[in-house]
Amino acid sequence: DAGVTQSPTHLIKTRGQQVTLRCSPKSGHDTVSWYQQALGQGPQFIFQYYEEEERQRGNFPDRFSGHQFPNYSSELNVNALLLGDSALYLCASSKTGTGEEKLFFGSGTQLSVL
Amino acid sequence: GENVEQHPSTLSVQEGDSAVIKCTYSDSASNYFPWYKQELGKRPQLIIDIRSNVGEKKDQRIAVTLNKTAKHFSLHITETQPEDSAVYFCAAQYNFNKFYFGSGTKLNVKP
């Protein structure tokens, strides 16, 4: 049973560039959430996708966008990168509607913006 | 808005001692409170959780308590071991499985 997988594991970009991160949820899960974890901080909620739509959004600008595909996998896109976007980006999957909606995290993508 | 505060930020204990980490949350609608352990360079892993209709839950050396009236919940680790050294995060669930996390506690268990 595969867990949550993310790619790539590391990425280096320069300011102003765009980046796409990818996530495959745990088998049986249909909901994908994205979190940003700055160094020494807890994960911060970016947004959540369910049934191929953005269901909830945290306090992040429109430069952060996403997508969910019919197979429940998801992408996170960040445009016009800023130095402050450097962080570990975590994908978490869950199953909506079961009453046991535990979050399972991937290993993350470490993004460095130079 | 929603907020989760976590204390202490660092905690150093001797092997065999107990460790307690405390969190408070702001939204009384929260009803699910997980705890995650994150080792350096690894993903956060769920170690224990508690729902609002339960006051305490134990799993071997780990226990979590919840005071819904005071909006407090705590993680208790007994008989600590060096492999317990990691960063621990509390979280509170809001609508549709949206979670707010504390800022983390770095636990160091000295052999």
- Residue (of B73, A75, A89, B53) closest to B63 by Cα position: B73
Q: Which residues of A64-101 are buried (b: 16+ CB within 10 A; e: fewer)?
A: bbbebeeebbbbbebeebeeebbbbbbbbbbbeeeeeb
Q: What is the pLDDT of residue B1?
A: 59
Residue A25: how many CB atoms within 10 A of its CB? 27
Q: Considering only residues 60 to 79 of chain B, which have any Cβ-Cβ distance to chain A shorter than 8 Å?
A: none
The answer to whether residue A103 neighbours chain B at the CB level (below 8 Å) is yes
Residue B2, pLDDT > 80, answer no
The DSSP code sequence of A29-90 is --EEEEEEE-TTS--EEEEEEETTEEEEE-S--TTEEEEE-TTS-EEEEE-S--GGG-EEEE
Q: What is the pLDDT of residue B30?
A: 85
Tens of each residue's pLDDT in chain A, 114 residues: 579 999 999 999 999 999 999 999 999 999 999 999 999 899 999 999 999 999 999 999 999 999 999 999 999 999 999 999 999 999 999 988 876 678 999 999 999 999
Q: What is the pLDDT of residue B50?
A: 93
Contacts of B97 in chain A (CB under 8 A): 31, 33, 48, 94, 96, 101, 103
Residue B68, pLDDT > 70, answer yes
Q: What is the pLDDT of residue A100?
A: 63
User: Backbone phi, then psi, for A69, in 5-degree steps?
Assistant: -100, 165
The answer to whether residue A43 neighbours chain B at the CB level (below 8 Å) is yes
Mean pLDDT of the region B75-83? 97
Mean pLDDT of the region B72-76? 97
Q: What is the pLDDT of residue A99?
A: 66
Mean pLDDT of the region B59-77? 95
Higher local confidence (pLDDT), B89 or B52: B89
Model confidence over B25-44: pLDDT tens digits? Answer: 988 778 899 999 999 888 99
Q: Give me the residue from B32, B91, B104 closest to A41, CB to CB.
A: B104
Q: What is the pLDDT of residue B97?
A: 76
